């Protein structure tokens, strides 16, 4: 799984950080999401899928290599 984020679409709600804090974080300056690990290990992938599903801005994209 490859994780990318459209930072222009992100609204900074932080739901992804709450669900998958090992994969996502937020910039201190504006709350926009940053990806800490763009290829999360298998144990985190279900949380990443949930984060993408509930993102209010649909800013998280998941692809399979």
Alpha carbon distance 15, 34 (integer Å): 12
pTM score? 0.94
Decide if pLDDT at 13 tops 90.
yes
Look at residues 51, 46, 43 and name the one whose alpha carbon lies nearest to residue 24: 51
Residue pair 48/20 in contact by the 8 Å Cβ criterion: yes
How many structural domains compose the chain? 1
The model's pLDDT over 25-46, given as tens digits with 9 standing for 90+, comes to 999 999 999 999 999 999 999 9
Domain of 24 in residue numbering reads as: 2-63
Give 32's contacts (C-beta < 8 A, 6+ positions apart): 7, 10, 12, 26
pLDDT(65) > 90: no
CATH number, residue 58: 3.30.70.20
Return the closest-CA partner of residue 8 out of 37, 36, 32.
32
């Amino acid at each position: 799984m490859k994780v990318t984020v459209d930072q222009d679409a992100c609204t900074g709600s932080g739901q992804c950080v709450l669900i998958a804090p090992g994969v996502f974080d937020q910039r201190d300056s504006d709350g926009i999401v940053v990806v800490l690990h763009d290829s999360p290990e298998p144990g985190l992938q279900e949380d990443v899928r949930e984060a993408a599903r509930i993102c209010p801005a649909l800013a998280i994209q998941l692809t399979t290599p």
